[in-house]
Amino acid sequence: MLKVEQLSKQIDRQTILDGIDFTVESGEIVALVGRNGAGKTTLLRTMVGIIRPDQGDVLYGTKSIFKDAGLKRDVIFVPDSADALKHYTVNEATDLYESIYPSFNRSAFRETLTRYNIENKKIRQLSKGQKALVTLSLAFAVQAKYYLLDEPTDGLDVVAKSDVLKLMIAQVEKRNCSIIVSSHQLHELERIADRIIMIESGRVKAIMSLEEARALSIKWQVVFNDHVPVELLERKDIEIISVTGRVVLFMAKERTEELETFIDSYNPMLIEEIPMSLEDVFRIQLGGEAHAV
């Protein structure tokens, strides 16, 4: 089990992480979501011991990552670009990983290379998608217990994204490892994540399953008899997505009785609840000041 305990970090007198606290169980895929600058990358870098926290700890099992560097044999951090290994050829990178990690499975890595038809070139000469596949495949071939992935599908085309996601799912199914993945590609996280950790201004805003996340907020399409009431459009606790004639589509941060009573008071012709995507949840929960209650 991975346990993040009251992690706090200030950089340039600004609080980047503020009492972050959560656990990740074996075999879980946890999505780390939050707006740009929320502290996701700093959190991942701290979790692997690159950055030291001002307060708090990160425990893998019972051991602190800051006290036992050997733990990192089972904790692999994959940053959002393959720049670190750009001067290496694929084979050289394989040799390097094999010499660092005794558990490295060369044949599993070769298999991935063959499947995706990746040649032994310098990593900087590979396409963006190939780079992502190589770095992830290298990481997964280590057969570690924990993976911290920072924007693994950023900038990839649809096919490459799908391949990366398949790789991640396959690892969890095969080896029961834990993956903590930070991404802005919410519709993809939706497909793979067991739980979501929402980060806002360095704090954990919410930890929930996808179902819980969807249930937290509402997305309604309401058809009124006459016109869309101005009072509804002026409400601060909802986000209007569209208004077409008598039809309004909006999201609300929370399902409240007051809101339901308010809508009912206008005797609408139809109220339809639209399923919320993770992107909708993200937008209404973390959309920023403009959408705050």
Judged by the rule CB under 8 A, the positions of this chain that interact with other proteins are: 9, 11-12, 42, 45, 48-52, 69-73, 75-77, 79, 81, 83-85, 87-88, 92, 96, 99-101
CB within 8 A of 287, min separation 6: which ones? 239
What sign does the CA torsion over 192, 278, 6, 80 have?
Answer: positive
Rounded to a whole number of angstroms, the minimum distance from the CB of residue 54 to other proteins is 10
Rounded to a whole number of angstroms, the minimum distance from the CB of residue 36 to other proteins is 14
Beta-strand relationship, 203-209 and 195-200: antiparallel
Closer of 39 and 129 to other proteins (Cβ)? 39
Closer of 70 and 275 to other proteins (Cβ)? 70
Rounded to a whole number of angstroms, the minimum distance from the CB of residue 51 to other proteins is 5
Closer of 16 and 222 to other proteins (Cβ)? 16
Rounded to a whole number of angstroms, the minimum distance from the CB of residue 69 to other proteins is 5
Rounded to a whole number of angstroms, the minimum distance from the CB of residue 40 to other proteins is 14
Q: How far apart are CA 60 and CA 62, in angstroms?
A: 6
Q: How far apart are CA 72 and CA 148, in angstroms?
A: 11
Burial of 163 (0-12, 13-18, 19+ CB in 10 A): buried
Closer of 17 and 252 to other proteins (Cβ)? 17
Task: Classify 190 as helix, strand or coil.
Answer: helix
Closer of 70 and 288 to other proteins (Cβ)? 70
Q: Phi first, then psi: what are they for 71, rounded to 5°?
A: -60, -25
